[in-house]
Amino acid sequence: MAESMKGLKRTCRCTEVSAADIGKEVTVMGWVQKRRNLGSLIFVDLRDRSGIIQLLFNEDEVGEEGYKKAATIRNEFVLAATGIVNKRGGEVNASLKTGDIELVVKSLRILSESETPPFPIEENSQTKDDLRLKYRYLDLRRPDLQKNIMLRSKVTMAIRQFLDEEGFLEIETPMLGKSTPEGARTYLVPSRVHQGSFYALPQSPQLYKQLLMCSGYDRYFQIARCFRDEDLRADRQPEFTQVDMELSFVDIDDVIDVNERLIARVFKEIIDIDVPLPIPRMTWQEAMDRFGSDKPDTRFGMELTDVTDTVKGCGFGVFTGAIDAGGSVRGINVKGQAGMPRKKIDALVDFAKGIGAKGLAYLCVNEDGTYKSSFAKFMTEDELRALVEKMKGEPGDLLLFAADKTDMVWTVLGGLRIEIAKNLDIIDKSKFNFLWVTEFPLLEYSEEEGRYVAMHHPFTMPMDEDLELIDSDPGAVRAKAYDIVLNGTELGGGSIRIHQNDVQEKMFEVLGFSKEDAYDRFGFLLNAFKYGVPPHAGLAYGLDRLVMLMVGADSIRDVIAFPKVKDASCLMTDAPNTVEASQLEELGIKIDIREGADE
CB 85 within 8 A of CB 22: yes
Q: Which of 314, 272, 305, 485 is nearest to 402 (CA)?
A: 305
Binder to ligand ASP among 121, 213, 540, 556 (CB under 6 A)?
Answer: 540
- Which of residues 488 and 493 has its CB atom nearest to ligand ASP in the complex? 493
Sign of CA dihedral 376, 381, 387, 392: positive
Alpha-carbon span 547 to 466, nearest angstrom: 37
Give me the least distance between CB of 541 and ligand ASP, in Å please. Answer: 9
Alpha-carbon span 384 to 393, nearest angstrom: 11
Q: Which helix (H) or strand (E) holds 27?
A: strand 25-37
- Rule CB under 6 A: which of 35-74 touch ligand ASP? none
Identity of the residue numbered 257? D
Give me the least distance between CB of 298 and ligand ASP, in Å please. Answer: 22
- Rule CB under 6 A: which of 173-232 touch ligand ASP? 182, 204, 206
Stretch that binds ligand ASP, among 48-56, 116-124, 125-133, 533-541 (CB under 6 A): 533-541
Stretch that binds ligand ASP, among 39-47, 411-419, 537-545, 573-581 (CB under 6 A): 537-545
Q: Which of 582, 465, 542, 568 is nearest to 152 (CA)?
A: 542
Give me the least distance between CB of 202 and ligand ASP, in Å please. Answer: 9
Give me the least distance between CB of 539 and ligand ASP, in Å please. Answer: 5
Contact call for residue 286 and ligand ASP (CB under 6 A):
no
Contact call for residue 247 and ligand ASP (CB under 6 A):
no
Alpha-carbon span 258 to 251, nearest angstrom: 11
Binder to ligand ASP among 511, 539, 556, 559 (CB under 6 A)?
Answer: 539
Give me the least distance between CB of 221 and ligand ASP, in Å please. Answer: 11
- Which of residues 525 and 540 has its CB atom nearest to ligand ASP in the complex? 540
* 3-class DSSP state of 213: helix
How many residues touch ligand ASP under the rule CB under 6 A: the total is 9
Alpha-carbon span 262 to 267, nearest angstrom: 9
Which residues have C-beta within 8 Å of that of residue 588, sequence separation ≥ 6? 190, 195, 196
The residues pairing with 101 across neighbouring beta strands, listed in sequence order, are 87
Q: Which of 471, 429, 435, 451 is nearest to 293 (CA)?
A: 435
- Rule CB under 6 A: which of 321-350 touch ligand ASP? none
Q: How many residues does the chain have?
A: 599
Give me the least distance between CB of 283 and ligand ASP, in Å please. Answer: 18
Give me the least distance between CB of 285 and ligand ASP, in Å please. Answer: 20
Stretch that binds ligand ASP, among 40-48, 143-151, 297-305, 534-542 (CB under 6 A): 534-542
Contact call for residue 538 and ligand ASP (CB under 6 A):
yes
- Rule CB under 6 A: which of 450-509 touch ligand ASP? 493-495
Q: How far is CA 174 from the centre of its chain?
A: 24
Q: Which of 300, 356, 354 is nearest to 332 (CA)?
A: 300
CB 28 within 8 A of CB 103: yes
Give me the least distance between CB of 36 and ligand ASP, in Å please. Answer: 53
Stretch that binds ligand ASP, among 15-23, 435-443, 532-540, 571-579 (CB under 6 A): 532-540
- Which of residues 33 and 206 has its CB atom nearest to ligand ASP in the complex? 206
Which residues have C-beta within 8 Å of that of residue 555, sequence separation ≥ 6? 235, 548
Give me the least distance between CB of 213 and ligand ASP, in Å please. Answer: 11
Q: Which of 297, 265, 247, 154 is nearest to 535 (CA)?
A: 247
- Which of residues 406 and 495 has its CB atom nearest to ligand ASP in the complex? 495
Binding site residues, ligand ASP, CB under 6 A:
182, 204, 206, 493-495, 538-540
